[in-house]
Structure 1
Amino acid sequence: MISLELDRDQYLELEKIGLGAFAPLDGFMNEQQFRSVVDDMRLPGGAVFPLPVLLSVTEAEAARLHDAGEVALTFGGETVGRLWPSDFYRVDRPAAAKQIFRTDDRKHPGVAYFYDLAPVFVGGRVELLKRARFDISADELTPSETRAIFAERGWRRVVGFQTRNVPHRAHEYLQRVALEHADGLFVQPLVGRKRAGDYTPQAVMAGYRALVGGFLPRERVVLGILSTIMRYAGPREAVFHALIRRNYGCTHFIVGRDHAGVGDWYGLYDAHELTRRFDGDLGIQIMRLHGPYFCPDCDGIVTEQTCPHYGGPATRQISGTDMRRILVEGEKPDPRLMRPEIVAALRGVPLFIEENQ
């Protein structure tokens, strides 16, 4: 049988498809699916799906695979899955990037990653034969495992929380709000490929173990990673993240300020607006929450919905970007913005990805 060696990103995408994390997708997207998703944010059958999931190959690999009815997918020389190729295609990448990311500028990390994929895309149904086993894999739960955990605990309302950052007080605030309205909280940090300057998987998990272990009710929180690439696609990725958490058994999903954003490419609440477009069609309810900040006048973590001083000179925004900057410069974050126990948990842990993966 003809074989194709996958890289780490491709293997993890294969795994997510095979485990049902990207349902109803059952393979890497063919050309019809790609164009439908890019143009309409739906698969050809009508199911909401906002981002392409792609397998790219070189010209030589495409020629070798072209007439193969079945392809063994390998990683490290070991067969980990199978692919039944349906078509091979190329796309106008700048045009597609403008639709997906709202820009064709290579300075955008999602656009750069998309441009750097091999020239030919291969569509086709896949089968996962072997789970990925990397240094991060011990912290990963499958959709069937999380659904079983939620059922065992009797949770009927489960809120999913997406993050790529070490926890700070703003995220903790959102999680506490969620726990007021649900039986349980599923915190699922994304730890796949990210850009330089983002937190390492080790730092994110160290921070969340400290938070869940010391400051949230353990019996009402499940913590597990999501190993897939960060697309930095803003509003579209917010919808994608919601669909993934639906597949893991969540009934609700938090979309906050600048969800999956990067730089100034998206408006602070553009993701709120896009998710409204699909209300009732996602299989999961969106909790649209405003970005918390610290207000010294209110003496607490608040949002513009609850604080009359929003935008005043004393208000302190809390963002992952700001927390990263403080830690990079060796400062101790204000304990009103990040718990000292979280900072202590990061000692001796590599904090930041030093170069684009």
Structure 2
Amino acid sequence: MDLAKKDSIYIDKREFSILSLIKEGLLGSCTHLMNEKESENVLKTGKFNNESFPYPLSFAPRIKNENLKNVKSGQRLNLCLDNEIVGFIDIESKFKNDKDRPSIFNPNTCILDDISEFCLSGEFEIYNSDIKKSKNEFIELKKSHNARRITAIVSSFDPLHRAHERIFRWTIDKADFVVVFLIESYEDNGFNFELKEQYLRIFAQKYLPMDRIFIFPLKDIDIFHAHLNPGLESILAKGLGCTKLVVGQNHSGLGMHYSHNQPCTILDQFSMDYNIEIIILPEFVFCDKCKMIVSTHSCPHGTHHHLHYNSHSLKELLRAGIIPPVVFVRKEISALILAKLFPHRFKNMQTIYNSLFSTNGILEYKKDEEFYEKLLELHQTSYMA
């Protein structure tokens, strides 16, 4: 496609995904790209339509588009991604982009990408959006289950560990339906999105009631990175129709403090504005005295008896090829991750498997993850200790 065409602009996958969220109403009541006046008002008041709103929805494409200088009000521009038309925008106005001011497309002003000098406002349309497909699928499930109490969890699950399982079960017990928003990893050593979605779905299918849980993937979207603005998560949850949002007390950006002996967070205002209940869970640990996963609030034993579910450290072990104990991560999850990180690690893996482990007398080809699972089973064997 010729970029010189006056009726086309290029966008990237990230912008396409964020535009899809806006269009589907998952980032608040505003479903258009804001003009200069609206953007200035959000920056000044922190609100839109009397609801808390952290960033203006002002759009300055990151990919260089020379034709933006000549864009006029009333013009329709096709949105192009990888040489395909994926939508359009009807231009209401064009205004100067202040790169020092945040927007939903550039929430971290410390990272100044080579974005356009102009912002575009107006109504727009997105074609064939995975966000829309997931939303519609959820709405159908919600109707079929007549779900009223819907709880949201937003996490990168990088990796999925036992404390996450504890949160899942606690949440499912207290809701008609649970929505799990899977977000991109923000650390440099984070696992890729496809792998995370694969092991999350495998775990849900094997160990959770699938008729009461829905996995909503948010691929190619970095605005939820590191949970720096948990207000966005409450807006996201409410936009899908959730009535509760569950976050952990160690949630980055939560700003937790006490006022008159009552816990307060920056989410309190979002909770009131969007009529969504925010539940802050304590940290979950494994206590070697209780011999189970407990919360730090309910366990009477000291921290020297606690094993902590530190995602970064577990990830370091896995990337080093070390299998975490099953008290931290389920064997199926560890086996899948290691098999993806170290494909064909052992040239003679089949021989090793047959020479170490019992078989039913039939030589069968074993996948890498089956080898790791069997090895983990032996790590759990205690009668020789």
- Provide the TM-score with structure 1 as the length reference: 0.80
Q: Hey, what does 1:336 align to over in structure 2?
A: 327
Unaligned runs of 5+ in 2: 1-5, 258-262, 343-385
Question: Quick one: distance in 1 between partners of 2:271 and 2:126?
Answer: 35
AA at the equivalent of 1:309: H
Structure 1 residues 235 and 34, CA, compared in 2 at 3 Å: closer, same or farther? farther
SS in 1 for 2:52: coil
Query: How far does the alpha carbon of each residue in 1:100-134 deviate from its partner, in whole angstroms, 9 at most, with x for none?
Result: 98xxxxxxxx4554x115142524123224124xx
Shift of 1:32: 3.3
- Indicate which of 46, 52, 57 corresponds to 1:41: 46
Kindly indicate whether residue 123 of structure 2 is the aligned counterpart of residue 126 of structure 1.
yes
* Partner of residue 209, structure 1: 201
Quote the Cα distance in structure 2 between the aligned partners of 1:129 and 1:56: 17
The structural deviation recorded for 1:307 is 1.5
What amino acid is aligned across from residue 299 of structure 1 in structure 2? K
Which of residues 17, 28, 31 in structure 2 aligns to 1:26? 31
8 A Cα contact 2:10 2:65, kept in partner: no
2:179 corresponds to 1:186: yes
Distance 1:89-1:293 versus aligned 2 partners, 3 A rule: farther
Aligned residue number for residue 314 of structure 2: 323
Q: CA deviation at 1:160?
A: 1.0
Deviation (angstroms), 1:276: 1.4
Query: TM-score scaled by structure 2?
Result: 0.75
| SS of residue in 2 equivalent to 1:313 | helix
Match of 1:298 in 2: 290
Secondary structure of 1:342's counterpart equals helix
SS of aligned partner of 2:293: strand
Between the aligned partners of 1:42 and 1:221, the Cα distance in structure 2 is 32
Mean alpha-carbon deviation: is it higher for 141-150 or for 59-68? Answer: 59-68
Cα separation, 2, equivalents of 1:236 and 1:33: 24
Does the residue aligned with 2:50 lie in a helix, a strand or coil? coil
Greater CA radius of gyration, 1 or 2?
A: 2
Q: Judging changes above 3 Å, is the alpha-carbon distance between structure 1 residues 329 and 38 closer, same or farther for their aligned structure 2 residues?
A: farther
State whether residues 8 and 78 of structure 2, in contact with CA within 8 Å, keep that contact through their aligned partners in structure 1: yes
CA distance in structure 2 between the partners assigned to 1:59 and 1:183 by the alignment:
47
Q: Partners of 1:253 and 1:38 in 2: how far apart?
A: 25
CA deviation string 1:168-219 (max 9, x = no partner): 111111111111211121112014x845222211221122122111111222
Q: Cα–Cα, structure 1 residues 314 and 36, in superposed 2: closer, same or farther, change >3 Å? A: farther
Match of 1:62 in 2: 68
Does 1:247 find its partner at 2:252? Answer: no
C-alpha distance in structure 2 between counterparts of 1:235 and 1:202, whole Å? 20
Q: Distance in 2 between the 1:283 and 1:117 partners?
A: 38
Note the residue ranges of structure 1 that are not aligned, 5 or more in a row. 102-109, 352-357
Identify if the C-alpha distance between structure 1 residues 349 and 128 changes in structure 2 by more than 3 Å, giving closer, same or farther: farther
In 1: Cα distance, 2:11 partner to 2:32 partner: 14
Which residue of structure 2 lines up, in the alignment, with residue 314 of structure 1? 305
The structure-2 alpha-carbon separation of the partners of 1:338 and 1:189, relative to structure 1 and needing over 3 Å to count, comes to same
Closer, same or farther: CA 290–32 of 1 in aligned 2, 3 Å = farther
Q: How does 1:64-213 map to 2 (within 5 A)?
A: 64-66=70-72, 69-85=75-91, 86-91=93-98, 93=100, 110-113=108-111, 115-132=112-129, 137=130, 141-165=133-157, 166-191=159-184, 194-213=186-205
TM-fit CA distance, 1:318? 0.9
Quick one: structure 1 residues 46 and 140, their matched pair in 2 at CA, closer, same or farther if it must change by over 3 Å?
A: closer
- The amino acid that maps onto 2:83 is G
One-letter code aligned to 2:150: V
Per chain length, whose mean CA-contact separation is higher, i.e. which structure has more relative contact order (CA < 8 Å, sep 6+)?
Answer: 1
Partner of 1:106: none
Shift of 1:20: 2.5
Structure 2 counterpart SS, 1:81: strand
RMSD (Å), alpha carbons: 3.0
C-alpha offsets along residues 290-328 of structure 1, whole Å, 9 cap, x if unaligned?
221222122222222212235x22312213222211211
CA contact (8 A) 1:159 1:250 kept: yes
- Per the TM alignment, residue 347 of structure 1 is displaced from its structure 2 partner at its CA by 4.0
Letter in 2 for 1:50: P
